[in-house]
Amino acid sequence: MRDLMGMMSKAKELQEKMQGLQAEIAEMEVTGTSGGGLVTVVVDGKGVLKSVKIDPSLAQADEVEILEDLIVAAATDASGRATRAAEEKMQALTAGLPLPGGFKLPF
């Protein structure tokens, strides 16, 4: 019975840590770039685009398609970085737990 109580206590502790980590991830801001730094975007921990910065040299009418592609590439870069950062934080939280392979948190 003590084992069950211990497991319940650890589960509650993990849940509290998970909630704190989710809040921390949501507040993160991650920067992505493309075009050698000509386009920079910032996304939050959930991947929501927060800002876009464009080098003035790209603001030429005949380069609009290139600019659009660079913005998409920078946003993709930032979103991928945010996902990796969140995964790293989650792995640090669950390190040492006997979870089965491929088990993902939160549930």
Map the chain to HEC letters.
Answer: CHHHHHHHHHHHHHHHHHHHHHHHHHHCEEEEEEHHHCEEEEEECCCCEEEEEECHHHCCHHHHHHHHHHHHHHHHHHHHHHHHHHHHHHHHHHCCCCCCCCCCCCC
pLDDT in tens, 39-73: 888 888 887 888 888 888 888 888 888 888 888 88
Q: What average pLDDT does the segment 4-8 reach?
A: 77
Residue 85: predicted pLDDT: 87
Architecture in CATH of 29-93: 2-Layer Sandwich (3.30)
Which pLDDT band holds residue 107 (cuts at 50, 70, 90)? Answer: very low
Higher pLDDT, 58 or 36: 36
Residue 97: predicted pLDDT: 65
Q: What average pLDDT does the segment 22-50 reach?
A: 86
Cβ contact 10:93 at 8 Å: no
Q: What average pLDDT does the segment 16-37 reach?
A: 86
Report the C-alpha gap between 65 and 83 in whole angstroms. Answer: 27
Does residue 36 have a pLDDT over 90?
yes
Q: How far apart are the first and last CA of the chain?
A: 25
